[in-house]
Structure 1
């Protein structure tokens, strides 16, 4: 202990860095700014920031100081139980170590780091501030380090809120454009048929007008569903694929279509929102494949569609029909999360894309084995929010 030196800190540098943090516009810029400021603020050479990836349940290196990049030849990833940094993150407590050689739970027992402060950033991750030589972190230094971490966390929260607002605004602009277009078409039909009925006295035109009103009501129902759906799914329960599909089929307007369930698997989801996915896909099949369509639901197992998984890992599920299918050139736009595809099916497929995306999954459309449409929902292990996508 006698060889330790006391860390010196620079309040002017601290104020400069905190201003830069709050002015930063992106997660990347915040992380880089936070790490660039550590040597000047704390007069130590090592610093690193890890962000939490909830899908992988790990802390992934996002940024580090220049000296840390030189010392460590490859990025370190922290997972449950493998490091002091994970313990600090999991327990949400600041850890201070003046002699890391004495600690048993280090990620690397041969680490050249001698002293370190580990600072959790709530759900975002951790910041580590350290030195290759033994140093003593006095109370004032630890207090300043806590404030530093608080500013980093606040900057990340601010950037995330601003990002979410931008996404919401962009989605709303696209949404309004499609809504105005899709509602205007049936409205013109209603107006035209009413004019004809008045001019000719032929009340049969009112049937077409009524159909236009029904179309607008269906669109409004879809709009309300889209407006109610939040972005990320936070709470999930295990639901049996076959049971959910069969319950939803009984409620969907599918005329004389037939459901065939080709296997099952547990799906961890928001059950009510996943019901909406199935209902919209079932209605889409009935609308486009015909009243007597056959709709098949089953698991995707390691790329296979066999109901008997033979011990292989299930990666998702599919909904397929025996209708005319969807042209290749239209498939990507049909399921764009922000595309709000309208057309004959209203906004139903846009709702599917949004709910799937909110779960952190991926949805694609291809050809079924009978030549119809096949919608595949898979666990893409991607972050739910694009804010963390880099």
Structure 2
């Protein structure tokens, strides 16, 4: 334990630590050290827990190597106070465990810990572990609300760091997946397309035409898979766009046959142009696939000006399916594999927007995108 810190000094020191560009374990240990000093306890720990296997491991600790609870130590969860922290709705605050009725608790019996302050750490709604501060000796006074709030602040800040690290890891895996798909699938596909084109140039064959269409379809599917893999990354740079101009450009890129498009009014908004094109192209393809070659599509701004809609006069989407249509793999068609609307949702989420499915004026599907940033 170091010199006592005031609440203001502790917060300032914590913010300074969390703002550094450091490996997670090092940053977590420094944050624990601030908490240890402010709470006047002997050690602080960040743990990883699996209740099903009673697994407990200290992934960061202020206890040095050779101490009682150093980083890397594995224990049986059943012999720790952390089992109480993950079962309760509020932090566990023990300033003197025996005096608080826990003299027979396994954690006290085995390790002699009088003092414990622990909070659960969750990521994506699932238990990760705990943030805890401990001492062999009891505290003279119970933990007060300011101390508990500060410990909770550390817990939430470390949760955020862990969430960001998990998200970055997912993005890295998606990038690797996209690279493999792009090279290992597209290369042999391009070879096959080239061979088929050579054969088609020298002779007519219905079988070759079917093969060519199948290869083109495979190319489209690979492009969709790559788009889904890359949509998870948040938008960092945006441009001021015109709804009318973007819609017309996307309409030209879609096989429209006898379908028609109308734009009710223009709207200026900020977005990533490339991703927004994916959004409109997939909504248009979805309307044509389900509404037929002669479907009519309307696009325009929402009444409050905070977004836009894409509406068609096709058969619409049953209310029971509206929550499921954006799930990867969900489809009611015979040709698609359920990626189009998943791509749309990915674009929306990457921008921080919202999307909802409603019934259109003519009974068709109406997709409303809201919370769109205006200039």
What TM-score does the superposition give when structure 1 sets the normalisation length? Answer: 0.49
Correspondence for 1:51: none
CA distance in 2, matches of 1:45, 1:30: 26
- 1:356 CA displacement: 1.0
Deviation readout 1:251-285 (Å, 9 max, x if unpaired): 32222322111123222221221111011111222
**CA RMSD of the aligned region, Å?**
4.8
Give the alignment partner of residue 226 of structure 1, picking from 225, 228, 246. 228
**Does 1:17 find its partner at 2:44?**
yes
What residue number does 2:354 align with?
362
Q: CA deviation at 1:242?
A: 2.0
The reply on whether 1:158 has 2:162 as its aligned counterpart is yes
Tell me: CA distance 1:349–1:291, structure 2 relative to 1, closer, same or farther (3 Å).
same
Q: CA deviation at 1:288?
A: 2.6
Q: Secondary structure at the match of 1:365?
A: strand
| Residue 316 of structure 2, aligned match among 325, 334, 339 | 325
Change (3 A) 1:65 1:31: farther
Runs of 4 or more off by more than 4 Å in structure 1?
A: 6-15, 20-25, 27-37, 43-46, 151-155, 163-170
Corresponding residue of 2:371:
379
Alignment check: 8 A CA contact 1:32 1:64 kept: no
Distance 1:362-1:340 versus aligned 2 partners, 3 A rule: farther
Structure 1 residues 219 and 166: CA distance shift in structure 2, 3 A: closer
C-alpha distance in structure 1 between counterparts of 2:133 and 2:262, whole Å: 56
1:35–1:65 contact (8 Å) kept in structure 2: no
Maintained 8 Å contact 1:297/1:320:
yes
Q: CA 1:254 to 1:372, structure 2 compared with 1: closer, same or farther past 3 Å? A: same
Q: Quote the Cα distance in structure 2 between the aligned partners of 1:160 and 1:223.
A: 24
Asked if 1:26 is matched to 2:122, the reply is yes
1:64 aligned partner: 149
Matching residue of 2:266: 264
2:207 matched to 1:216?
A: no
Native 8 Å contact 1:298 1:318 kept in 2: yes
Structure 1 match to 2:276: 274
5+ residue gaps, structure 2: 7-34, 48-57, 61-119, 186-203
CA distance in 2, matches of 1:7, 1:284: 60
* CA–CA distance in structure 2, aligned partners of residues 10 and 321 of structure 1: 61
Matched, 1:300 2:297: no
Q: Report deviation, 1:335.
A: 1.2
Q: Which runs of 5+ in 1 are unaligned?
A: 1-5, 49-62, 69-126, 128-148, 184-201, 302-312, 382-390
Q: Residue 205 of structure 1: CA displacement?
A: 4.4
Q: 1:380: how far off?
A: 8.9
Q: CA deviation at 1:228?
A: 2.9
Deviates more, 1:12-21 or 1:267-276: 12-21
Number of equivalent positions: 245
Distance 2:122 2:286 in 1: 39
Retained in 1: the 8 A contact 2:282–2:340? yes
**1:191-234 Cα shifts (integer Å, max 9, x gaps):** xxxxxxxxxxx953444444333322211111122223343222
Q: Does 1:348 align with 2:352?
A: no
Q: For residues 337-378 of structure 1, what are the alpha-carbon distances to aligned partners after superposition, in whole Å with 9 as ceiling and x for unaligned?
A: xx3435534422211111112112222222211122211112
Partner Cα separation in structure 2 for residue 377 and residue 319 of structure 1: 9
CA distance in 2, matches of 1:235, 1:36: 45
Structure 1 distance, partners of 2:300, 2:284, is 14
Q: What TM-score results when the alignment is normalised by the length of structure 2? A: 0.51
Larger relative contact order (C-alpha < 8 A, sep ≥ 6)? 1
Q: Secondary structure at the match of 2:323?
A: helix
Whole-Å Cα distance in 1 between the matches of residues 235 and 133 of structure 2? 32
In structure 2, what is the equivalent of residue 73 of structure 1? Answer: none
Separation in 2, partners of 1:152, 1:350:
31
Summarize deviations over 1:15-72 as a string: whole Å, max 9, x none.
Answer: 63244595664269899948999xx8xx995548xxxxxxxxxxxxxx8269x9xxxx
